[in-house]
A and B are shown apart, each in its own frame.
Chain A
Amino acid sequence: MKRILIIDDAATVRLYHRNILEGAGYEVDEAVNGIEALEKALLTTFDMYIVDINMPKLDGYGFLREIRSQEIAQAPAIMVSTEAETGDQQLAYGAGANLYLVKPVKPDGLLTYVRLLIGGV
């Protein structure tokens, strides 16, 4: 089963993404900030990361830089932000995201990208 790590400090957003992805049959794990996400990424290979930007302790950019620079994970990472600002997108790509989507990502849309990137369940 494909596993996806959802990294977001907002419990509501995590549940939202979890509902969508589990509904499609993916296995989902959660982390509430970049540090916890790093710990999980070190222990487990995920097929994809869905990363929020603004988080306490270690933000999404920081998390991506860590996994890319220390070569912890190469799997596709989708960064999700609430802002459609060019600056954020550039930063996201620079940090190591492979895709930048604006919240809220509609369920169909998210699943399309996930399926294209890591295949079906």
Chain B
Amino acid sequence: MTPLLEQFMSEARDVLQGISEKLMQLEAEPNSRETINELFRLVHTLKGNSGLFEFPEMTRVLHAGEDLMDAVRDGRVNYSQMLADRLLDAMDFVNLLLDEIEINGEIGTNHVQHGLQQTELLRQLLGTATAKTVENSGATVAKAVKKIHKKLPNMASLVALPEAQRMALYEQSISVNTLHLVQYVPEHECFFKGEDPFFQARQIPQTIWHSVQAVEPWPVMAELDAYCCNLEFQALTATSPDDLYELFRYTPEQVSINAVPAIVMALPSGEPNGGPVYGDFVVDALALLEAGDIAKLINVSNTMLELHSPNLWLSSALRWLLLVLKLEPNNHSAQRILIESFNHLVAPNWADLTPNVEIESLEEVTVAATLDTEVVTNVATNDDSFALNFILQAQRQILHLPDSDTWLVGRLNSVAATLTAIHINAGRQDVLPTLQDALAEALTASTAAPLLMWLDDYAMQANTPALNAANKVEPGVVQGKLVGEVLEGASLSQNVATRLDINQNEASTDIDADMKFGRRSEDSYSAPKTLKVDQVKIDILMNLIGEMVVAKNSLPYLAGLAETQYGVRELGREIKSQYAVINRIAEEMQDAIMQVRMMPVSFIFQRFPRLVRDTSRKLEKIVNLVLEGEETEADKNIVEALADPLIHIVRNSLDHGLETPEVRRATGKPEAGKLTIRASQESNRVYIEISDDGKGINPDVVKRKAYEKGIIDEATMERMTDQEAVNLVFAAGFSTTEIISDLSGRGVGMDVVRSAVEKVNGTVSIESEVGKGTLIRLSLPLSMAITNVMIVESADQAFGVPMGMVVETVRVPKSNIRTIKNHKTMVLRGRIIPLLSLNDLLAVDAPQLANENEELAMLVVQINNESIGILVDEFRETVDIILKPMTGIIGGLGGYSGSALLGDGSVLMVLNLKELF
């Protein structure tokens, strides 16, 4: 990806987010001018940006969106729910295209049709009645969606193709409709966009018939505007529409592609031989056709065919009749027309028979351009004379503007500066004195006229009067020259610029260099305050500091070694004090890097307005969403890990918590439900609360459900408190609604939320009151800072266990282990502890190894307020690591909370014991 494309992608995502936010705001206050203007500007910006690349589908949709917002801004179209919906859909489409660009670097051609649909949906809202009319200086440009009704063209010239070829095409087209008519009407201004529509038309593959016609009748030669495209191209082709759409993907609105019936191929040809003398045959054949006696009709036709030379027109018509009877036995009208053609020996005009083809296209009509102003064209050219002419023309237009503007002086000066510049650059300094005269006169008289006259008399004429030769202003009286004197005060910026040049050329002297330097630092542009950094770079920093933290830990050991082993106590102390310094720096550095990784939770909050809006509408509920504390920050990994659980909780609230307006009214609540998402920070934890004022969770219902599903037994159900019952929603396999709605997902319950939160060392709790509402509280660490883990060995592998879970480590004589009901247990300080072997948990088929004293290593861990003994092969040291969540294929692997890089470069897998049971 080029830096420009990267810039585009990142800006585009921001803008899309902005658009979606503004639309939400507009929903709350549909009349806010400020919001509407801002929305227009955002769509406009994005459209402009996309135009820099070859993303025609994106640009087209955005262009329609821009036109629509422009209309809303001007009050021609009113804001409506539907408008917001369609714009949001269109932006989703743009987002989809962005995703594709992100992956493939370009947009596939399969979006053309979808893009056209989106465009059309937006254009519909603009309506035909609101055709935009800009009136200015006599030139009126009207844009309107216009429906053109068009018959199939007369394709009589197809007859030039050999009959056999046409018959083959006919046959082929009967089975699979392969024939398509492409009608291509390029826009008038297309030449100025560097297009060559004829070249484009010639790219249509497998054409069998062509036509080029004038859209408007040709004027007399002298009045012809060769630069205004007045052509319509048509071609009959055996290419698939998909390929054709791809070919015209930049201008699909100028093209219509329609299937053509195979019958158009049936054009008899050959020697006419004296005129129509087959009256009897025609009458008989029509009668047979009428009677439905096709067998006899075929018979008669075959006889006729044998009687005549195959070169005759008649024989050709018979062959076609026989072929149509065979391949299209039910197309009686075509058969009739073929038979009737025997009367006059003229090939049928199938266009009369086939239904009208409706062609819809966006037509731009230039109504009139009376003044000497050209309709603006983008003259992208590297032809100097062409460009020069364009510049001269522009200055002429500027000078023709009314003299009344207060900044006329500035304008005249700038025109003079421009004219001076182009003449200097063209090596025509000779005309400059007269230009200065004209400027002086113009400034004195406060009118552009003298400069206009100068333009007519002295300005160089570019050799190709390409654009607008007919529009030259009548040469006036030469006044500029008569004034004579050069006015000293008439400053021309080119002079300034030239002086500057000299300064810079002589900048070899120190003084000049200093001056230049001073000037530059003075106006150096303010550096941006934020930096966008690739996440990979931060990850590298994270890894490095991780290694640093591990590596520094070897220093105390080294100090000890110095003291005990080598007996250099002084050195030992010295190392220790150095260690303290390094330790402090490492910790601060770690903090600083963590800070870089912090991002506001608004990153995920910003999705909710749209989510709540769409979901509540689908459920026919009214919901007010309140977001608080969006600026609260947490580590990027934590914030990202929050996204899915939060969406799930919010959907649950909308789906199951908040009631429909009717129910709410009946229970005396306001119709609109309230959903609050609040983020806050307390010491080193981030809290996210999602609360609604819905119907709450009924503990009795939950208890019963849990019992029915076998999650709890009857005795447990009896003695459960209400809070305990509510907590059951987090139990695996629990879901309160029987009907799985498409919103909360396929029966995925809150247990998934809990495990996702626990993966990042967070906790989740729930409070609920029947009829009042539910509050779900997530508590998360501020950052995925360094975790202290104990390394244990099992089956020749090292694993990490978070020290937070480890209560103690004990060596247990094998003989102390008892098996009760198939479960290993042991008594530790008067309590029975269940034992689990790590090999069993990890499905490794090996017994745990004991040491030479026949003792097993046991890790006592605390899980859900219960002590459990985990048997491993060996304990090792504890280390500080930076836990990285697992991504990619192994991301879905249960039982591990992540991996970490150790000081020696090996990878340590850190166990998630909760998931292992």
Instruction: For residue A79, give the distance in angstroms from its CB to the closest CB of chain B.
Output: 10
Given contacts A12-B11, A84-B375, contact A76 B418 (CB under 8 A): yes
B279 contacts partner chain A, Cβ-Cβ < 8 Å: no
B422 contacts partner chain A, Cβ-Cβ < 8 Å: yes
B381 contacts partner chain A, Cβ-Cβ < 8 Å: yes
Residue in contact with A10 in the complex, picked from B48, B134, B135, B194, CB distance below 8 Å: B48
Instruction: For residue A92, give the distance in angstroms from its CB to the closest CB of chain B.
Output: 9
Complex Cα distance, B402 from A94, in Å, reads 8
Contact residues of A between 16 and 66, Cβ < 8 Å to B:
16, 19, 29-31, 40, 43-45, 47, 52, 54-56, 65
Residue in contact with A76 in the complex, picked from B12, B194, B421, CB distance below 8 Å: B421
Residue in contact with B51 in the complex, picked from A30, A98, A103, CB distance below 8 Å: A103
Instruction: For residue A76, give the distance in angstroms from its CB to the closest CB of chain B.
Output: 5
Flag B488-506 by CB within 8 Å of A: 1 or 0 each: 0001110011001000100
B562 contacts partner chain A, Cβ-Cβ < 8 Å: no
B139, A75: Cβ atoms closer than 8 Å:
no
B8 contacts partner chain A, Cβ-Cβ < 8 Å: yes
Residues of chain A contacted by B416 (CB below 8 angstroms): 74
B902 contacts partner chain A, Cβ-Cβ < 8 Å: no
Instruction: For residue A54, give the distance in angstroms from its CB to the closest CB of chain B.
Output: 5
Residue in chain A with minimal CB distance to B382: A108
Given contacts A84-B189, A103-B51, A117-B391, contact A90 B380 (CB under 8 A): no
Q: Is the interface on chain B under 10, 10 to 19, 20 to 34, or 35 or more residues?
A: 35 or more
Query: For chain B, what secondary structure do more than half of its interface residues adopt (helix, strand, loop), or is it mixed?
Result: helix
Residues of chain B contacted by A88 (CB below 8 angstroms): 376
Complex Cα distance, B48 from A52, in Å, reads 10
Flag A6-20 by CB within 8 Å of B: 1 or 0 each: 000111110110010
Residue in contact with A98 in the complex, picked from B48, B387, B395, CB distance below 8 Å: B395
Complex Cα distance, B379 from A84, in Å, reads 11
Instruction: For residue A7, give the distance in angstroms from its CB to the closest CB of chain B.
Output: 12
B41, A98: Cβ atoms closer than 8 Å:
no
Residue in chain B with minimal CB distance to A18: B4
Residue in chain B with minimal CB distance to A118: B421
Instruction: For residue B657, give the distance in angstroms from its CB to the closest CB of chain A.
Output: 40
A112, B7: Cβ atoms closer than 8 Å:
no
Residues of chain A contacted by B4 (CB below 8 angstroms): 12, 15-16, 19
Residue in contact with A69 in the complex, picked from B48, B373, B407, B491, CB distance below 8 Å: B407
Complex Cα distance, B377 from A105, in Å, reads 11
Complex Cα distance, B11 from A97, in Å, reads 28
Residue in contact with B411 in the complex, picked from A89, A96, A115, A117, CB distance below 8 Å: A96
Query: For chain A, what secondary structure do more than half of its interface residues adopt (helix, strand, loop), or is it mixed?
Result: mixed
Complex Cα distance, B382 from A100, in Å, reads 16
Given contacts A45-B500, A86-B376, contact A76 B417 (CB under 8 A): yes
Complex Cα distance, B66 from A85, in Å, reads 14
Complex Cα distance, B52 from A2, in Å, reads 25
Residues of chain A contacted by B379 (CB below 8 angstroms): 101, 109
A116, B136: Cβ atoms closer than 8 Å:
no
Residues of chain B contacted by A56 (CB below 8 angstroms): 38, 41
Query: A residues engaging B (CB < 8 A)?
Result: 1-2, 9-13, 15-16, 19, 29-31, 40, 43-45, 47, 52, 54-56, 65, 67-71, 73-77, 82, 84-90, 93-94, 96-106, 108-109, 111-113, 115-119
A-B contact pairs, 18 of them (CB 8 A): A12-B12, A44-B519, A45-B493, A54-B40, A67-B410, A68-B410, A74-B414, A77-B414, A82-B66, A84-B375, A86-B134, A86-B139, A86-B376, A89-B397, A100-B394, A109-B378, A109-B382, A113-B390
Given contacts A40-B523, A68-B410, A86-B376, 8 further A-B contacts (CB under 8 A): A13-B48, A69-B406, A71-B410, A86-B369, A99-B390, A112-B381, A116-B388, A119-B424
The 5 closest A-B pairs by CB, nearest first: A68-B410, A69-B407, A102-B378, A109-B380, A74-B493
Query: B residues engaging A (CB < 8 A)?
Result: 3-4, 7-8, 11-12, 38, 40-41, 44-45, 47-49, 51-52, 66, 134-137, 139, 141, 189, 194, 369, 373, 375-384, 387-388, 390-391, 394-395, 397-398, 401, 405-407, 409-411, 413-418, 421-422, 424-426, 491-493, 496-497, 500, 504, 519, 522-523, 525
